[in-house]
Amino acid sequence: MRSIIIPLAFALSILVCHIQAQDFTKLQWSDCGSPSAVISNIDLTPMPVYNPGPASITIKIELKKPVKTVGVNINIIRTVSGITLPVRCYIVNGANVGSCNYTDLCTFLKSIWDDFKPETCSPVLLDYGIDCTCPFNISPILLDLNNLPLDLPDASQSAASFMASGNFDIKVAVFEGAPLASPSYGCARVQLTVKQKK
């Protein structure tokens, strides 16, 4: 009997967890106030997304105004095992991760991304007039990334361990200059499920 009961209990516990978690099967997004941008699509597949693992991102956003310095305010709320808590801003190895303010996204990227320099700048960025020098100086353009492959690193082994699993409600507000001190440029809210690959 034991051999049947244990798998049954296991299956039940999975079912219960599943019901509690209400995992997203498609990324949900909404516009939370974008005077200078028109957001027409944001997607991330597969959903739930597994880490580590491959994923694809789709973004279609029309930038209507030039922007020199990009300030970002990120707010993350995480739900795991039915408990919803805001994620705070963590400083790990000198880099901010989580619900943080970034006064200049370009300088931040430079500090965490070794290849963010003119000699090794990604062609994807170059296509959008970003040459890996700061400030960004972005011109009005249609950001149109269609199923761009991403290799999600093992978040549990990194500074972003709080992102390793759970349901996330993430608000990303973009500003022309320092976040909240300057006029808002655009804002997107996304909701997604991240699972740890076993």
Ligand X SMILES: *[C@@H]1O[C@H](CO)[C@@H](O)[C@H](O)[C@H]1NC(C)=O
Residues at the interface with ligand X (CB under 6 A): 73, 89, 99-101, 179-180
How far apart are alpha carbons 3 and 40 in whole angstroms?
51
Distance of CA 32 to the CA centre of its chain: 15
Q: Does residue 120 contact residue 126 with C-beta atoms inside 8 Å?
A: no
CB of 98 to ligand X, least distance (A): 8
The residue number with the shortest CB distance to ligand X is: 101
The residue among 49 and 76 lying less far from ligand X, judged by its C-beta, is 76
* Contacts of 101 by beta carbon, 8 Å cutoff, 6+ apart: 71, 72, 73, 74, 89, 178, 179, 180
Give the separation between CA 44 and CA 54, rounded to whole angstroms: 11
Q: Which is nearer to ligand X, 66 or 177 (CB)?
A: 177
Compare residues 72 and 143 and give the one whose CB is closer to ligand X. Answer: 72
Minimum distance from residue 181 beta carbon to ligand X (Å): 7
Give the nearest distance from C-beta 179 to ligand X in angstroms.
6
The type of residue at 109 is L
Closer by beta carbon to ligand X, 23 or else 169: 169
We find the least distance from the C-beta atom of residue 145 to ligand X, in angstroms, to be 27
